[in-house]
Amino acid sequence: MSILSWIIFGLITGVIVSIFDPKSSEDSVVSGMILGIVGALFGGLLANLLLHSSINSFHPIPLLAAAIAALLSLSAGRFFKRL
């Protein structure tokens, strides 16, 4: 997948998580989008490096890694916000 698709995927993940979070506010939606984008980029790039594949080629594993990394970064952001 291309980097642009990971950014869009992370953005969508951040918005969806922020919408379903009952304690979300305006600033948490924006921070959720940013954390989702960062996580998806990190997970997708890491999976592509481990698979030795091109960034523009489609594999389901980088997409799954991007989703997991986006959710992990959102969870970590929420955890550190509570501290």
In angstroms, the CA 77 to CA 72 distance is 8
In angstroms, the CA 71 to CA 57 distance is 23
**Ranges of each domain in the chain:** 3-82
Evaluate whether 19 touches 33 at the Cβ level (below 8 Å): no
pLDDT of residue 56: 64
Roughly how many angstroms between the first and final C-alpha of the chain, as a whole number?
Answer: 35
Label residue 39 exposed, middle or buried (CB < 10 Å: 0-12, 13-18, 19+). Answer: buried
Residue 25, classed as helix, strand or coil, is: coil
Residue 25's pLDDT band, with cuts at 50, 70 and 90, is low
Tokens 């698979």 locate to 51
Condensed to tens digits (0 to 9), the pLDDT of residues 27-56 reads: 677 888 888 888 888 888 887 788 776 656
Residue 24's pLDDT band, with cuts at 50, 70 and 90, is low
